[in-house]
Structure 1
Amino acid sequence: MPLGYLFELLLPLAVCAIGVSFLLSPYLYICSFWAPHHAPAQGGNTGNPLYDLFMGRELNPRIGSFDLKYFCELRPSLIGWVVINLGMLMKEVELRDPASLAMILVNSFQLLYVADALWNEEAVLTTMDIVHDGFGFMLAVGDLAWVPFTYGMQAAFLVVHPQSLSPLGATAIVPLNGVGYYIFRKSNSQKNLFRPYASQCGIPGDYCHSNGKRLLVSGWWGLVRHPNYLGDLLMALAWSLPCGFNHFLPSMSCTSLSC
């Protein structure tokens, strides 16, 4: 099957992904009551069935040694996003050979983001999704449906609404994505190194709260409260600019990245 055929399958695949999420979340909820080594998640053990199903009762549900949450966090979500993007690029080649500069930039920028996440995979182990949130309906939909089918909305948009991007325009957009990526990577790397010691005090470069918790205030985190979000927003802007200004959809889908 030509990879460009993914364009025609986007809607049915998205519906199937949502359907799998609806089936997976009650399975996870029920299995959590019989999990041999049940690690309760923060917020997912209130006793309210609907709320607990949504948030997830178990922190790391497993089938044997296979961690379902950790797998879904990166594999079907981020890799699926890249595969769908490549399908949109091939569809554009079929319709208007060769691929446009706008499509190439969107694919390249988002491939860099996914490659960075996979290269720095160990940093995922310190994120809120892994450390605190249970694996319920919220994360199941986010991993299986939201990320692959909305984060790549720019590529799908360009198939239907081709944009003419000049080399001068590309010259301005590429550094914008580079600056955003640099801020994003540096600040997240700093946060990843800090988090294992977040409950200790007395280390230079941080501020110790009265409750014994540490607040990172050095480096990028001494300049702005959430520099990683700043990097996200700059990259999201660079992803949406190749799509032009005639429709709000590419910018809206990029804003969801920083949320």
Structure 2
Amino acid sequence: MTSANNPVENNYWVIVPAAGSGKRMGADKPKQYLPLNGKSLIAHTLENVRQWPGVKGVVVAIAVDDTEFKTLHCAQDPRIHTVTGGAERADSVLAALNYLSERQPAQTPVLVHDAARPLVNTDDIQKLLAASPIALLAQPASDTVKQSRECEDKSIVQQTLPRAQIWLAQTPQKAPLGLLREVLQKGLQENPAAITDEASALELAGHSPELVAACRSNFKVTHPADLILAEALINYRASESNSGSKL
């Protein structure tokens, strides 16, 4: 659990997997390069990341044929490094961890953050940094949650799950470099289908990450309508930058 005596981490690294195609967006280019308020989605995310307190560097995992990332203004920041990612998110994260393991101590805190979450709140980053060494941002469920099962050609309710115990995982997700690399390697070898995020790899290895409640603005841009919402929030933050808004 979070302790008032647990100091906020400094000199941590951030990994941003950005080698995917974003098929659910139905766009003609990878999701991370879709325009959002005059910049690409990933540019907004990285500009946010570069402002986090205490961040030492960022490793972005990009596709082998990516020629667009290097054209971004934020890519010129000497704190930003790139590696070639893989077919799946976990492959890209592992490639970045391998890169870092040759340059940083095993105990270095690492935060893995989605390229498609441009609106994470700095206050939430500070809460995550002050939390347990293994932790993630998440959103407590507010809707009633139904578990489904397939019946002929449709989905029907199997049961209602206890909402108080349901959290929706977000990013960043935090763990020590050496530990995260070890559990991700093992998980991909033994049960790759179960590795849906970094926390799941840690759970398979017997760890219990701390859940840190995050602001609702930290949603993942997945469908076209999410871009409209993200742009509205970016514009709202710009207009309220001097009002102390926490959105």
* Structure in which a larger fraction of residues adopt strand: 2
Question: TM-score normalized by structure 1?
Answer: 0.27
* Structure in which a larger fraction of residues adopt helix: 1
Question: TM-score normalized by structure 2?
Answer: 0.27
